[in-house]
Structure 1
């Protein structure tokens, strides 16, 4: 989560597992390390009958997730139906993985990573037109900005993972996901959109980063209302960090509603 405040959970010890491939008449099983609640990582097992992915060298030993320049996997020029379904099956983890910041605060049945990205995409869709900003690209960036968490999970500050290492892990995870997709133009577009957000290298990325913060504090307000919680840290961690005018206006509206709710709460 975007919260920079220390959560109550202990720092996780993120262990790393090797990829294993079981090949039998083009059938294989990719063991993908999935980092979630500390301290025990879960394993996502992706099964496919897609022979085109048989060229992926998934039996290599790796230290940590992914192998960077050591990877010998071959990216095909386009995605087959089997590759597309393999990729979408892997993305199911975004629907089932709950955002850890809410778990750390005892929220029952919290939102998933996909829930968060979906409402950010809606924010981009309904936002007023801004000079020089491509709203369609904002929608796309919102959809993919946390996509690597399908493999690495929702790594929060409470996990004690340095920012540079987190970024590297997510980059390697994204590369593996694009290989599962089979490479090609769509995979390259996903990489480009993700890197644009990661590097905050465009007006669109800057706006979507604000949506990330605004969506989080809106969700915090909703959980405060629904669960009777006080979630100050999410508001404090974003204070003064929202850069765009629309982000500031939406955040101010959320804060105003929160203050009104507090003022009307019985003592």
Structure 2
């Protein structure tokens, strides 16, 4: 059996995403914003839905999204405004360092997924990019429902970035939806 200490280290490092907060929401005034892992989880769910409806591979799309923010364990979640002032190392370089001690198959899996997501050219990557933006919109809708009144720029930038008709249609539905409507359906039975 391969030495799995590098893979174990990678999994422990990925756990940082459960504790690291999405920093852009602090700018909007959210006191306890979602973690990067929470974002990635719902982005993966969103990507699975979009890919299913767009005819892309839902499993591949979800995997791209589970991994897409893993470089942030080392460079942090740089808000959009911060990117104008900082130069971060590219995701491929971060991933190469993160997975250096991993078995070759793990290295290749993670590297290929990050490269595919970053290139944004395959149907799965296009769906994943849309899901990443759409999840931000969903979170903004939820924060707005909770009384945060400063999230419109996040909604607008997310809408502007969507490429697929499925994502644009979902966005229209989400903007009109009541975030807790799902809970009220049990009362109707």
Q: Secondary structure at the match of 1:80?
A: coil
Distance 1:79 1:250, change over 3 A: farther
Residue matched to 2:129 = 209
Q: How many residues align?
A: 178
Higher helix share: 2
Residue matched to 1:81 = 4
Larger mean CA deviation between 107-116 and 234-243 belongs to 234-243
The question of 1:172 aligning with 2:93 is answered yes
Residue matched to 1:194 = 114
Residue matched to 2:26 = 103
Residue matched to 1:240 = 160
Distance 1:220 1:94 in 2: 20
Unmatched 5+ residue regions in structure 2? 179-189
Return the TM-score normalized by structure 2.
Answer: 0.84
CA contact (8 A) 2:7 2:106 kept: no
The question of 1:158 aligning with 2:81 is answered yes
Distance 1:198 1:128, change over 3 A: closer
Report the alpha carbon displacement of residue 170 of structure 1 after superposing the two structures with TM: 2.6
Q: Secondary structure at the match of 1:227?
A: coil
CA contact (8 A) 1:135 1:204 kept: yes
Deviations 1:162-185 (A, max 9, x none): 79x43x3432211111114x2411
Report the alpha carbon displacement of residue 130 of structure 1 after superposing the two structures with TM: 4.4
The question of 1:227 aligning with 2:172 is answered no
Deviations 1:26-63 (A, max 9, x none): xxxxxxxxxxxxxxxxxxxxxxxxxxxxxxxxxxxxxx
Unmatched 5+ residue regions in structure 1? 1-77, 259-267
Report the alpha carbon displacement of residue 227 of structure 1 after superposing the two structures with TM: 3.3
Distance 2:2 2:55 in 1: 32
Distance 1:217 1:178 in 2: 31
CA contact (8 A) 1:107 1:227 kept: no
Return the TM-score normalized by structure 1.
Answer: 0.61
Higher strand share: 1
Q: How does 1:106-121 map to 2 (within 5 A)?
A: 106-121=29-44
CA contact (8 A) 2:67 2:113 kept: yes
Residue matched to 2:183 = none
Which stretches of structure 1, 4 residues or more, deviate above 4 A after TM superposition?
none
Q: Secondary structure at the match of 1:243?
A: coil
Deviations 1:175-220 (A, max 9, x none): 111114x241121111111111101120110011111111001100
Report the alpha carbon displacement of residue 243 of structure 1 after superposing the two structures with TM: 1.2
CA contact (8 A) 2:47 2:130 kept: no
